[in-house]
A and B are shown apart, each in its own frame.
Chain A
Amino acid sequence: MKDIYIEGDEIRDEKAPAGPVAERWDKRRFSAKLVNPANRRKLSVIIVGTGLAGASAAATLGEAGYNVTSFCYQDSPRRAHSIAAQGGINAAKNYRNDGDSIYRLFYDTVKGGDFRSRESNVYRLSQVSVEIIDQCVAQGVPFAREYGGLLDNRSFGGVQVSRTFYARGQTGQQLLIGAYQALERQVQAGTVEMNTRHEMLELIVVDGRARGIVARDMVTGEIETHFADAVVLSSGGYGNVFYLSTNAMGCNVTATWRAHRKGAHFANPCYTQIHPTCIPVSGDYQSKLTLMSESLRNDGRIWVPKEAGDERDPRRIPEDERDYYLERIYPSFGNLVPRDIASRAAKNVCDEGRGVGPGGLGVYLDFADAIKRMGRPAVEAKYGNLFDMYQRITGENPYELPMRIYPAVHYTMGGLWVDYDLQSSIPGLFVTGEANFSDHGANRLGASALMQGLADGYFVLPNTINDYLAAGPFENVDESTPEAEEAAEAVRARIDKLLSINGDRTVDSFHKELGHIMWDYCGMERSEEGLRKAVERIRELREEFWQNVRVLGENEELNQSLEKAGRVADFFELAELMCIDALHRRESCGGHFRAESQTEDGEALRHDDEFAYVAAWEFGGTGEPPVLHKELLEYEYVEMKQRSYK
């Protein structure tokens, strides 16, 4: 094992105060140094990303009077992938008076994360969740309301309380538009400079501090250097390493990976969440997968034929020849078991050859009973838009035929390691939202990512970054600073290389192949042997990529193949680290299931004695093994137990 990574010394989070968990955030806000409003104008912050995490931070820091420069690769900040979130956002408001509380949200999140997240962070997240809803409503976010005019709530992802706020099937969109409007307001006020169609390709570190970025203007191809007193990465998740995922086509790891190569630790890269209710692949031209809200599992029943290879029209398969496997295996939770469990169960039945639809990669999600019970109008009212979406994509009518669903990569719990202040292992580099290793441990609960992104951006970062900036402004740097020149040069060299190879395979063909490797060996079920094979295959494929990829056109124009090529190149390196992380973690926890570590009836088996830590990886140098730093996790409030949904 030690052949592929080196074990370094342990690290710990220095910033979280000791004492009662409920008081830590207050304590930290008090102990953090403040910046006098008059000085803020002199302090500059670069924020990469305009999703919930980035836009909320830019708006809030701009408002506070800092000098903010924002970046996104889309043509408008409003298009960040947060826009795609459907289900909702959690908050411990207890508006339903159903026994919810900050403590319960905290408890559910730590347990849901399979005891691989920090108590201090999760507790703060739960505390702040309450303010998020207030803030969004004040901005004019049109959450669903009841006839009384008050906000509606639903229960989400199998939790017992109704704490999820939602806006039809478009919660992410409405939240993001709120943050986007706040951001644009600051652009108008002159406190935020927005750079759209700009892709960050390198981090600039000067005397150990993050001082700027190298970005490519995606329209002119110009390689620009931007400088600031602090850099914030809010660049989202890296699910696209699997090629097919529910992420947007442009989602990438470049921003965080480049920072990692410059010294930022990458934590728990192997923790990926696979969402059970997505529309299955229909052919090899497939470019992305579409998620359908989990809420479908509230009334739909999931089944496959008992017989392998049963080709009959589902409507003609009699009840006693159907296997409602979730209801069978998990009688108490049935179709509402957590995502990771539902996903793996689907994989298992398909591996047994009982899957349905093209390639046998799908299971039925059947509303026949629901329609009988509630009547079609009720079902339409509740799920109409989802059914329409399904029909538009598959061409099948889900009121007649049961839907076909299959798991798909959806979210990455891993990300850059950060302390309680959201500061990475590089001073002055902060990371928020899905891009950091976040508060979700090994598995994220539904409706918690939106909460975390906005918590980080509106409330946490603006109260911690000042502790760092108080020491600024730092001494002046510009494009002539050696480190900056070097970074820009490296970027140019890389681009020239990609354009000069002119081999005979397209970028997409490499990306697809990489995706297959990751899905097969680092997907829902991982094994020592598989992962080792994967590492080999990835290295070979990377080799070939750098010799045989074909990227046409030049740099000085809008060049989408060039953009993709750069992203895929970084995915190769990330993919390898993911496999190494998965390989070293010889336990099953949350989204990470190791075949070697399961109970006799096939359930995930954690090894808290050995693995109750965050795996923070340090870049070992190109071609060199990465260095593992463990951050041990202690649980003072929530007692560690194995999850059971039987």
Chain B
Amino acid sequence: MANSTLTKQRSEALGSTVALKSAMAVTGVILVLFLIAHMYGNLNVFAGRQAFDNYSHHLRELGEPMLPHGGFLWIMRVVLLASVLIHIYAAVVLWRRAGRARPVRYQVTKRVQRSYSSYTMRYGGIGIALFAVFHVLHLTTNTIHPGGPSDSPYERMVSGFQPEFWYVTLFYVAAVLAVGFHLRHGIWSALTTLGANRQSRQRSLNIIATVIAAGLTIGFLLTPLSVTFGLVG
């Protein structure tokens, strides 16, 4: 008799597209949390040089003496790096897969409801990645130093965003906007991926995503702009 019933092959599903985007969601969320913390840190700039440098310094002392000097920061960096790499890996795999899934393109295409954010996820992401690299070289390692090198993170930043370096500021602004868009869809998408979406909640999830994305964008923009426009420093 052919009364076969279903048995599951879990191992195969661990590499499935759904698993991939879940990884993307989880790492995405980690990155978002980092950005929130990071934004908070940046806003210290309004408390003046001392506060900001202390904060930066404090980052490195966090967890001492349990952790060696800078230990926490390194853990954080490892986690961040891992997340970004996993995130990018998943994104790239899905991206290439999508390409293969539609070998012949449409002559005419039309967006029925999709948002600009969802539309720009991938290229936006790349932009963000490139920015992140530049950004770390600029403000963390200080290898790039428009306004001249300095041991004080505050210095680096304030000098970096001086009006004569308007293009630096502009680049940051662009990057932050990119992040904003990325997260507008990203956060909604992450929540859906992780199973939070219900017909009844669809609206609220979108609102949450918009609020967080907007909040981060504005929060991040404040620092460089206020420096450039001379409100700080």
Contacts and interface: CB of A to CB of B under 8 A. Distances in A.
Interface of A: 37, 62-65, 185-186, 188-191
> Contact size class for B?
under 10
13 contacts: A37-B1, A62-B2, A63-B1, A63-B2, A64-B1, A65-B1, A65-B2, A185-B4, A186-B2, A188-B4, A189-B2, A189-B4, A190-B2
Contacts of B9: none
Interface of B: 1-4
Nearest to B4: A189
Contacts of A63: 1-3
Contacts of A37: 1
Chain A CB within 10 A, most for which of B1, B2, B3? B2
Contacts of A190: 2
A189 B3 CA distance: 8
B183 to A, nearest CB: 39
Chain B at the A interface: mostly helix, strand, loop or mixed? loop
A63 B1 CA distance: 6
B1 to A, nearest CB: 5
Chain A at the B interface: mostly helix, strand, loop or mixed? helix
B5 to A, nearest CB: 9
Contacts of A189: 2, 4
Contacts of A62: 2
Nearest to A59: B2
Contacts of A186: 2
Contacts of B1: 37, 63-65
Contacts of B2: 62-63, 65, 186, 189-191
A191 B2 CA distance: 7
A188 B4 CA distance: 9
A64 B4 CA distance: 12
A188 B3 CA distance: 11
A62 B3 CA distance: 9
Top 7 A-B pairs, shortest CB-CB distance: A189-B2, A191-B2, A189-B4, A65-B1, A63-B2, A62-B2, A186-B2
B9 to A, nearest CB: 14
Given A64-B1, A65-B1, A185-B4, 12 more contacts: A37-B1, A62-B2, A63-B1, A63-B2, A63-B3, A65-B2, A186-B2, A188-B4, A189-B2, A189-B4, A190-B2, A191-B2
A493 B22 CA distance: 59
A568 B2 CA distance: 40
A324 B4 CA distance: 58
A613 to B, nearest CB: 42
Nearest to B3: A63
A470 to B, nearest CB: 18
Contacts of A64: 1
A37 B1 CA distance: 7
A352 B57 CA distance: 99
Nearest to A65: B1
A189 B1 CA distance: 10
Contacts of A188: 4
Chain B CB within 10 A, most for which of A37, A185, A190? A185
A190 B4 CA distance: 10
B160 to A, nearest CB: 62
Nearest to A186: B2
A186 B4 CA distance: 8
A65 B1 CA distance: 5
A65 B3 CA distance: 9
Contacts of B4: 185, 188-189
A585 to B, nearest CB: 46
